Copies of this chain bind each other. A is one copy, B any other.
């Protein structure tokens, strides 16, 4: 039996979602709504672009932070969306939003630091800091008036002298919670005052229902701010498997990110990057269609839950998740296991998203209505 040297690595626990999925290994009939990914493959026009690049023999090493045309396309995309004046030197391409987060934290977080993380939250956000030896300070999101809220005074009061970063995920996985512009401005002011890095995971920026895009820190920061914004192609363009994301940050930090990326992944497959350029350039129609599907799916789930008095479900402002509580359920893993084994539906247990998520379940509704109807029907005996 060989174990890793590092105590923080020794202490890592397997994801509760994965642990649950293992329980259904031998069942082919499970409706899988547990993972956070669209149900459709990447659109054909994006796939074709990658295939053309493979045909052209684009199989050599590439620059660390992405091929220049993709960095330019990303700067233009951010500029058009948020009315900014970024240059290609403000963005770095990464092999996934996850890697973007890991790179950002490697520059910032050291053992002995603490980081602030509003929770429930995608577990990888705090874990990526924890693995670097940081202590995690969770601040609770709370459901109020049928939506999730963050009390900013509570957040600010939680900061410690050794707090080096604030990790924010808005629109939030798993709750759908979303920061408003004025809240973002207050948070930025706080980070400036306390010299705390702001790491904003905005991978669901385009998956929102009451406006064109989610409020972003991108139109509030400047070149002197200690910030990095994490984005990904995964959710907007159904490209989860490709592993393509990007960081937006001050130009003066990009040389460092370039060097750190050399020692993490070195570079990214050119055909994947060209697929990304195509997604940015021609992907808006696909995004609009996807949003129509997700909205219909969200409304179906919300209406069904409204007819189930035991289910409490704040309406998500963004993402393609509902995060709901069931009256009487206190052990979300156990309840998810029952939903899996008795109803044949795979949901993510809320405890996977931190102690603040206990008692809840996450359902990914990026699926066909017929599939969702069937899943909801199958779960009814345990939810009513």
Contact = CB atoms under 8 A, between A and B. Distances in A.
A253 interface: yes
Nearest to A57: B41
A23 B37 CA distance: 44
A5 B108 contact: yes
A240 B62 CA distance: 9
A142 to B, nearest CB: 27
Given A14-B259, A54-B50, A102-B263, A59 B5 contact: no
A241 B270 contact: yes
A6 interface: yes
B35 A59 contact: no
Contacts of A240: 59-61
A283 interface: no
A267 B253 contact: no
A209 B106 CA distance: 40
A260 B59 contact: no
Interface string A239-273: 11111000001101101101110111111111010
20 contacts: A1-B224, A2-B224, A2-B250, A4-B107, A5-B110, A12-B260, A14-B255, A41-B59, A51-B51, A58-B241, A59-B239, A95-B265, A98-B262, A99-B264, A99-B265, A124-B262, A131-B263, A241-B270, A243-B267, A243-B268
B111 A243 contact: no
A96 to B, nearest CB: 6
Nearest to A124: B263
A325 B226 CA distance: 45
B224 A243 contact: no
Determine which residue in A3, A223, A224, A264 has the highest number of CB atoms from chain B within 10 A of its CB, and name it: A264
A256 B108 contact: no
Given A6-B110, A60-B37, A269 B243 contact: yes
Interface string A37-80: 10001100001001100110111111000000000000000000
A326 interface: no
Sorting the interface of chain A by its residue count into under 10, 10 to 19, 20 to 34 or 35 or more gives 35 or more
Contacts of A131: 106, 260, 263
Contacts of A148: none
Interface in A252-298: 252-253, 255-256, 258-260, 262-270, 272
3 residue pairs, one from A and one from B, having the closest CB atoms: A41-B57, A4-B107, A42-B59
Contacts of A270: 241
A366 to B, nearest CB: 12
B265 A265 contact: yes
Nearest to A1: B252
A266 to B, nearest CB: 5
B96 A256 contact: no
Contacts of A14: 255, 258-259
B241 A2 contact: no
B241 A61 contact: yes
A269 B252 contact: no
